[in-house]
């Protein structure tokens, strides 16, 4: 990747050494990445994500090559967008829910200056409700 946002390697130590962005204050240590991945893989074995509460983690990360991507949280918003309820369902002009239509992230109005975090949080909320109603 010429822009330096995507990385790949055959070992976790090598991958950690390649992960670099001018915005980070220190480089990732290979041992830290190995410990983090080992912990995640135990969550797969146990069927419970003890750190973030993800339901039933199912896929171990253990076979090379390994990949990583750099993501820098930023603050930017359109400051407008579709109106939604607490389940991220789109509300029409008559204040009625449009069944089956969900909206999150930059297309969702009413939450300025929350960027990537808002996208991840409300994406999970909308995905959960959409899955339950399918």
The tokens for 67 are 């990949």
pLDDT band at 20 (very low <50, low <70, confident <90, very high): confident
Query: Do 93 and 62 belong together in one domain?
Result: no
64, 12: one domain: yes
Q: How many Cα neighbours within 13 Å face the side chain of 11?
A: 6
Domain membership flag for residue 115? yes
Range of the domain at 36: 6-69
Of 48, 53, 15, 54, which Cα lies nearest the Cα of 32? 15
Clarify whether residues 24 and 62 are in a common domain.
yes
> What's the residue count for the chain?
134
Domain membership of residue 76 (yes or no) is no
Residue with tokens 């750099």: 70
The verdict on 128 and 95 lying in the same domain is yes
As a whole number of angstroms, the distance between CA 122 and CA 107 comes to 11
pLDDT band at 78 (very low <50, low <70, confident <90, very high): low
- How high is the pLDDT of residue 76? 57
- The count of structural domains within the chain is 2
Q: Is residue 55 part of a domain?
A: yes
């Amino acid at each position: 990747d010429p822009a330096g946002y995507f990385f790949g390697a055959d070992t976790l130590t090598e991958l950690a050494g390649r992960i670099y962005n001018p915005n980070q204050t220190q480089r990732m240590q290979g041992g830290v990445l190995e410990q983090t991945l080992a912990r995640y893989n135990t969550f797969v074995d146990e069927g419970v994500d003890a750190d973030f509460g993800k339901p039933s983690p199912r896929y171990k990360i253990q076979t090379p090559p390994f990949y990583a991507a750099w993501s820098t949280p930023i603050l930017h918003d359109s400051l407008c967008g579709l109106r939604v309820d607490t389940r991220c369902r789109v509300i029409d002009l008559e204040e009625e829910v449009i069944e089956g239509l969900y909206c999150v992230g930059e297309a969702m109005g009413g939450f300025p200056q929350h960027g990537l975090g808002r996208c991840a949080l409300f994406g999970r909320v909308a995905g959960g409700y959409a899955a339950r109603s399918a």
